[in-house]
Amino acid sequence: MIDIEGRLYTQKREIGWEDYSRDISVSSCGYQKFMTHKLKQLRSLGRVDFQIIYITRGHGNYYIDGKMKRIGEGCIVLYRPHQRQEYYYLPDNTEVYWVHFTGKDAQKHIADMDSGMEIGISNEVSQIFTSIIYALQTRRPMFHEIANALFLQLIYTIKQCAEEFKKGRVDIDIENLILTMQNEYNKKWTLDKMAAACGLSKYRLAHKFKEYMGIAPVQYITKIRMDKAKRLLSESTMPVREIAGVLGYDNALYFSRLFRKHEGMSPTEYRDMFKI
């Protein structure tokens, strides 16, 4: 089992945390993948806070509306305060993101959400979850304010995806490719390999991807790599040539030229901005 999480409080409380001094307050956020161990959770009296679960792969079994229901990938599960929480996962590679939150405006923001709502497999939603986890783990200055702001972005991105899903605007082939590219950004991607990954001709992929994302697929993988490069340059002392290799570039000079083209400065100049 893979279990990654970030927490506001060092102490872990099974009943959760309440904080009505803020409009929104995220107390914890995480990601889990169930490979070799199952998980069963039972909170008969629920928690004092809210919980949102997003299933990105496989399925879970959740107690909703008085009975156990099987909820599959691309769906949201929402538990409100003091609502019975009972759910379990089997060791079948199911993957989920989750977040616990509270606040005096929490109910207002999720009033029109409910368990079982479909949003499809959204790389954007997964990335926001990941950013919240990162903020809570690193605990940099203003980390809680940033986590709370990201949470509001998460809520309204979920709602946006739900509306698009209802209208049929979610393209599962493209979403799956985007998720794969995000996770395997250092792979030797070509248009042919991207097309093969989602079962389309490269010409059909190029058209659908540009229509869906607004940029070409090759430009998108470059954007992912440049975003990763900026994080590594600002938060590590890894040499530029090693960063290039981590991102999938065999030639460090080519990587540097590409970085300058996208960011208007060299990798070294970008790193220097973060030196004290």
Q: Residues 15-59: pLDDT tens digits?
A: 999 999 999 999 999 999 998 888 898 999 999 999 999 999 999
Instruction: Work out the number of other CB atoms within 10 angstroms of the CB of residue 24.
Output: 19
pTM for the predicted model, two decimal places: 0.64
State the pLDDT at residue 152.
97
State the pLDDT at residue 170.
58
User: Are the CB atoms for 16 and 9 separated by under 8 Å?
Assistant: no
Could you report the per-residue pLDDT of 114-170, keeping only the tens digit for each? 888 999 888 889 999 999 999 999 999 999 999 999 999 999 999 999 988 887 655
When pLDDT is cut at 50, 70 and 90, the band that residue 80 belongs to is very high
State the pLDDT at residue 118.
92
The first and second tokens of residue 93, run together, are: 């590679």
Return the CATH fold of 172-272.
Arc Repressor Mutant, subunit A (1.10.10)
- Greater pLDDT, 54 or 12: 54
Chain-centre distance for alpha carbon 190: 25
CATH architecture of 2-167: Sandwich (2.60)
Q: Which residues are CB-contacts of 53 (< 8 A; sequence separation ≥ 6)? A: 60, 62, 76, 77, 78, 79, 87, 96, 97, 98
Write the Ramachandran bin of 80: left for phi over 0, alpha for psi from -120 to 50, otherwise beta: beta
Kindly list the domain boundaries of the chain, sorted by start residue. 2-167, 172-272
Could you report the per-residue pLDDT of 164-219, keeping only the tens digit for each? 888 765 577 788 888 899 999 999 999 999 998 888 888 889 988 888 888 899 99
d(CA 75, CA 259): 37
Q: Do domains 2-167 and 172-272 have the same CATH topology?
A: no
Give the residue carrying structure tokens 């099974």: 14
Instruction: Work out the number of other CB atoms within 10 angstroms of the CB of residue 98.
Output: 18
Q: Taking Cα atoms as reference points, which of 84, 89, 105 lies closest to residue 2?
A: 89
When pLDDT is cut at 50, 70 and 90, the band that residue 276 belongs to is low
